[in-house]
Amino acid sequence: MNQLKKKGAYNIAIAGVTGAVGETFLRILEERNFPVANLIPLASSRSAGKKIIFKGVEYPVRELTHGSFEGVDIALFSAGGDRSKEFAPSAVKAGAVVVDNSSAFRMDPDVPLVVPEVNPQDVNKHKGIIANPNCTTIIMVVPLKPLHDYSKIKRAVVSSYQSTSGAGASGMQELINQTKAWTDGKEITVSAFAHQILFNIIPHVDSFTENGYTKEEMKMYNETRKIMGDDNIKVSATCVRVPVLSAHSESITVETERPISVEKARELFSNASGVKLVDEPANKMYPMPLFAAGQDLCYVGRIRKDISAENSLTFWVSGDQLRKGAATNAVQIAEILI
């Protein structure tokens, strides 16, 4: 097992530094004043030589290779599953601990899948690689945790409203480009998504599987059970792409072993780590991407009893996909490591 030595500052590599999550890694490390001794920015050969700025210092991007990790303490990966599978073992062999943002290792029984507000203890089980969960899963399990601790969750039904940031920088740019094209009376082109995203919603995130669910929806099913440490939790998800730049939202209905009143739920959410309660519908105050974008908390509101079932509660959550749904969660894991 790779164990980090305690020291004042650490050598940090970022694989995929020029992508949307990679750029957010840089912001989060700086905002949280993570003790970085040396930064090693890594990307594909086509991005090698580009310059990135970290804490006012300019760094040239290096090509990601098997020899990139000499002397590295922690490697933050967001370069896609294939590159994680290819290069993460080399990082571990060189002595680094990898925090991987792709789906490559999430369901590997030897790799902990961690959300620090939910299962921080699992960090210590790592054998060199720790997996960062899917963004929609993270935004859901942070508010599920306090409910589950109070009364075990038997079932969760969730519909996601996922921003274009979930498809990376190209997804966000496509929404911007389509907006400009529509405004200028030009033809709208489609490449990042299956259909036009402007003035539309697409009930299709990731590829479809044989059971009719998409891979994104099955990630929420499988990852939730692993993170929560409870294979009895059932999850049915419908994942939808919406024309929002940043921050995902989710409508969640949970069935619990014992009833949880709305008042108790508000109390649990108010005291939960990583959650911000915004639940004043009479004053038109409820979670929205507009509030959650750029933040690290999961905003929870619209809390109400599910009138269609016993022991059932419905609520709404919004969270920044690039931050808590990806980069912030990974950096929080790194903070536990040190």
Strands 10-15 and 74-77: parallel
SS3 296: coil
Query: Does residue 298 have an active-site annotation?
Result: no
Distances (CA, A) of 235 to 67, 131, 137, 146: 41, 20, 11, 17
206 exposure class (CB count in 10 Å sphere: 0-12, 13-18, 19+)? middle
Which of the residues 126, 135, 148, 239 is marked catalytic?
Answer: 135
The dihedral sign for the CA sequence 209, 215, 216, 218:
positive
Candidates 165, 67, 110, 323; CA nearest to 75 is 67
Which of the residues 126, 148, 239, 248 is marked catalytic?
Answer: 248
Strands 74-77 and 97-100: parallel
Query: Does residue 135 have an active-site annotation?
Result: yes
Distance (Å, rounded) from C-alpha 256 to C-alpha 89? 40
Distance (Å, rounded) from C-alpha 316 to C-alpha 182? 31
Bridge partners of 113, per DSSP, are: 131
Could you please report the per-residue DSSP string of 112-170?
A: -B--TTT-GGGGGG-SSEEEPPPHHHHHHHHHHHHHHHHS-EEEEEEEEEE-GGGG-HH
Structure-token pair, residue 43: 């990307």
Q: Residue 267 carries which side chain, given as an amino acid letter?
A: E
Active-site amino acid positions? 135, 248
